[in-house]
Amino acid sequence: MLTARRSWDDGFTLIELVITVTIMSIVTVAITGVLFQYLRVSNESSARLNESTDQQFVSAYWQQDVSSAGLRAGTPSLALRPSVWKSGPAPSGVASACASPAGTTVVGLAWNDYPSTTPSTAPEATWDATISAAVYFTKTVGTRTELWRTRCGSGSTTSTPVAHLIDPASLTDPATGMLDPTRIVSCAKDDGSTTSCTGVSPFPSTISITLVVQDTGKAVPSGTGYTSTLTAETRQG
């Protein structure tokens, strides 16, 4: 009985304990590696989702505003007049909220709104009734550089942030080292060659904006941001 009782009281041997600790160490290292990899992939996925959301939000407005751009002179010929501005002054008639936004202008676009109640027999000059505009501008919010859009027209003004994660380096002219958000916007003619955005002869056929968004709030080891160029066609000209 004493012999049997001693065998029941036996614990781990030193060899068994060493083997157990070794196995637990190997398993712990493996689990830790999997956990870190999961967190890294999750972080990268979250950052990419945030960046792509910014791009999609801007594109929802960009095509709509560019296709509307085009101010008419209000004469019987309804000749086009400058309708797009960047660093220069906005066209006359544009509401002050769009002419002087609460940030640094990237690009502004203006157009005529013709009342649907205007009879078809009315002189063309009376059609030039309301001027609407949309201006895109950057401003600093906390530590972020954001792209905002202000829409003016018909007595109402709305401002909306359309991209929260703009890479400030993309807004800087590398030749001068100075902030120049207008450099991310370009205009082209029908043949694809570059033309002045503010001109009317020819009036730009397409207007493009190149955005670099990067979620710096995420610890992504090799994150370089997300770059895309949104190109929209004008309907005027």
Number of domains in the chain: 1
Q: What pLDDT score does 134 carry?
A: 95
Is 131 in contact with 138 (CB distance < 8 Å)?
Answer: no
Terminal CA-CA length for the chain: 108
Query: Does residue 45 form part of some domain?
Result: yes
**Structural domain contains residue 9:** no
Answer yes or no: is 20 within a domain: no
Q: How big is the chain by its Cα radius of gyration, in Å? A: 30
Start-end of H helices in the chain: 2-8, 14-68, 96-99
| Residue 135 domain flag | yes
Q: Is residue 215 part of a domain?
A: yes
Domain of residue 160 covers 28-233
In tens digits, the chain (237 residues) has pLDDT values of: 445 545 555 666 777 777 877 887 777 776 776 665 555 555 555 555 554 565 677 888 999 999 999 888 766 567 788 899 998 899 988 999 999 999 999 999 999 876 655 555 555 555 556 789 999 999 999 888 999 999 998 778 999 888 888 888 889 988 888 889 999 999 999 998 999 999 888 899 999 999 888 766 555 445 567 788 889 999 876
Q: How many residues does the chain have?
A: 237
Q: DSSP secondary structure string, 110-178? A: EEEE--TT--TTS-GGGG--EEEEEEEEEEEETTEEEEEEEEEETTEEEEEEEEEEE-GGGGB-TTT--
Which structure tokens are listed for 105? 């202008």
